[in-house]
């Protein structure tokens, strides 16, 4: 049986009556961030940002499927009121944040891939530092009651799975795309992520209604 929090989130899942007008400026900000990079023809950052966002969608789909099959609680769930809850652990506010986050982190990457920070290759250092920062933010959100964890192995007392599977994969995908030499490879990788995400959403959310 779903937990009390999961039931509450399910009750407003994709409910358009929850809409709030602040969604529009969030959309405008997201579009502006990408427009600035497109204007500069900064395709490395644009595609890396999209890869980061696409990996978040992948995680959210897996999270929704996990909840469907265990019928108790997802790895993480959203609890506070939202303008639109897309999936059990993803609302519109989080969605726009991740759409921008990948670009933000890629903007701090040194041009020299071989540069080391504290003796660590800079891509690895920034990926780990960024993941750790994101986990810290999630712990704050959890303490505020906005993000719910109901499994002991996915919690503030057990942050390693969140670090490894909740975020590090995002950074790895984004930075790999950023550093790819050929535009064709960048496009194929990002396209592959989104083709999988869209197919999974159509199948599991649209056809089977599992997530």
The pLDDT assigned to 196 comes to 98
Token duo for residue 103: 């670009």
- Quote the pLDDT of residue 91: 98
Phi then psi dihedrals of residue 11, to 5 deg: -65, -20
Q: Phi/psi zone of residue 119: left (φ > 0), alpha (ψ -120 to 50 degrees), beta?
A: left
* Amino acid 58: pLDDT: 98
Does 144 have pLDDT greater than 90?
A: yes
Distance, in Å, from the CA atom of 64 to the CA atom of 78, rounded to the nearest integer, reads 12
How many CB atoms are closer than 10 A to CB 184?
9
User: What distance in Å separates the CA atoms of residue 122 and residue 102, rounded to the nearest whole number?
Assistant: 16
Buried b (16+ CB within 10 A) or exposed e, 38-66: eeeebebbbbbbbbbbbbbbbbbbbbbbb
**Mean per-residue pLDDT for 43-56?**
98
Q: What is the mean pLDDT of residues 64-76?
A: 98
Q: Tokens at residue 57, please? A: 């969608």
Q: What is the mean pLDDT of residues 158-180?
A: 98
What is the pLDDT, as a whole number, of residue 172? 98
Q: In the prediction, which pLDDT does 40 show? A: 97
Give percent helix, percent strand, percent coil of the chain, each to the nearest 5: 65, 10, 25
**Mean pLDDT over the full length of the chain:** 97
What is the three-class DSSP state of 61?
Answer: helix
Three-class SS string for 108-174? CCCCCCCCEECCEEHHHHHHHHHHHHHHHHHHHHHHCCCEECCECCEECCECHHHHHHHHHHHHHHH
pLDDT band at 165 (very low <50, low <70, confident <90, very high): very high
Average pLDDT over residues 66-89: 96
How much is the pLDDT for 76? Answer: 98
Indicate the pLDDT class of residue 56, thresholds 50, 70 and 90: very high
Mean pLDDT, range 54-82, rounded to an integer:
97
Tokens of 126: 């920034």
Q: What local confidence, expressed as pLDDT, does residue 24 receive?
A: 98
Q: What is the pLDDT of residue 80?
A: 85
Tens digits of residue pLDDT in 6-35: 999 999 999 999 999 999 999 999 999 999
State mean pLDDT over 97-102. 98
What are the beta bridge partners of residue 116? 121
Q: Please compute the mean of the pLDDT values over residues 162-169 and round it to a whole number.
A: 97
Q: By three-state DSSP, how is residue 85 classified?
A: strand
């Amino acid at each position: 049986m779903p937990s009390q929090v999961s039931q509450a989130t399910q009750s407003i899942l994709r409910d358009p009556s929850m809409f709030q007008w602040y969604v529009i400026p969030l959309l405008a900000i997201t579009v502006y961030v990408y427009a600035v990079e497109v204007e500069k023809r900064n395709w490395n950052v644009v595609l890396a940002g999209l890869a980061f966002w696409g990996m978040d969608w992948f995680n959210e789909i897996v999270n929704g499927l996990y909840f469907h099959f265990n019928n108790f609680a997802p790895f993480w769930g959203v609890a506070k009121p939202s303008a639109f809850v897309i999936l059990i652990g993803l609302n519109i506010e989080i969605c726009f944040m991740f759409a921008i986050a990948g670009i933000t982190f890629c903007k701090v990457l040194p041009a020299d891939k071989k540069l080391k920070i504290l003796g660590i290759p800079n891509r690895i250092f920034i990926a780990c530092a960024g993941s750790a920062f994101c986990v810290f933010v999630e712990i704050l959100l959890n303490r505020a009651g906005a993000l719910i964890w109901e499994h002991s192995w996915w919690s503030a007392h057990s942050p390693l799975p969140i670090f490894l599977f909740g975020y590090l994969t995002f950074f790895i995908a984004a930075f790999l795309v950023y550093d790819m030499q050929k535009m064709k490879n960048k496009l194929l990788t990002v396209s592959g992520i989104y083709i999988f995400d869209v197919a999974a959403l159509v199948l599991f959310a649209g056809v089977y209604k599992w997530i």
